[in-house]
Structure 1
């Protein structure tokens, strides 16, 4: 049985829900000083309302980290095409809109994050990242 952690025991970064460029798509913009906890290009786990998805961390032009989507598999996070973006659905169904703050809990830097509405509590399964050699094997199989 996995151990669990709450938002009270992990670092929380406050970001902003924003529109991606001139589009109607939303993204989560995080502060530039949090970049070390959000390594660009990495595919990570993202928890939304208790459901775990995968996202590829990106950088904005100013170097600040951004999360643009949450998908069912790591390969869909790398190349979403027409896959369901669960982050977009979560934002569309919830109380957050462009310009509002969002809390991103750093459960395991570079591996797992929880996204939640400010003021709400959350509990996450404490999973550890795989050994780097196992992760490389999994990535090669995923491709």
Structure 2
């Protein structure tokens, strides 16, 4: 059985981000401030994000307007995260189920930099499965097979 770690565990880094409106349809996105846009949040990476005990896939992106990072959606598979128009964006569902409104803070727990993150409301404590990122050669093979 895999180890579980809590969101307040000393091995995790937590970053305060903001839930904001995106585009003409006011879809939610998570903005990570520029001062945290380092190797913990690599631009263009396809990552795992745990929200409400469900593990999704997401892409970390650089916004056009600043040096921060953003997560525009949570999807059920790597393929859907690469092609978001083909699947349901679960970030909207997560945001609707929280008490967080646009412009307010959300917390992003860095479980494994560049690989796995947690998304939660401020003040909420949660548990994550401790998952290590695969060896680079294995992840390259998986990405080629998935793509």
TM-score, scaled to structure 2: 0.94
| 1:1-143 equivalence runs, <5 A | 1-9=1-9, 10-36=12-38, 37-61=40-64, 62-143=66-147
Root mean square deviation of aligned Cα: 1.0
**Count of residue correspondences:** 143
User: Partners in 1 of 2:26 and 2:86 — Cα distance?
Assistant: 16
CA-CA distance at 1:21 after TM superposition:
3.9
1:2-49 CA-partner distances (Å, limit 9, x unpaired): 011111121100000101144311100011111121101100000011
User: Partners in 1 of 2:119 and 2:34 — Cα distance?
Assistant: 18
Q: What SS does the corresponding residue of 2:58 show, helix, strand or coil?
A: strand
User: Partners in 2 of 1:21 and 1:75 — Cα distance?
Assistant: 22
Uncovered stretches (5+) of structure 1, i.e. residues with no partner: none
Q: What SS does the corresponding residue of 2:119 show, helix, strand or coil?
A: strand
1:43-81 CA-partner distances (Å, limit 9, x unpaired): 000001110000011011212010010000011101111
TM-score, scaled to structure 1: 0.96
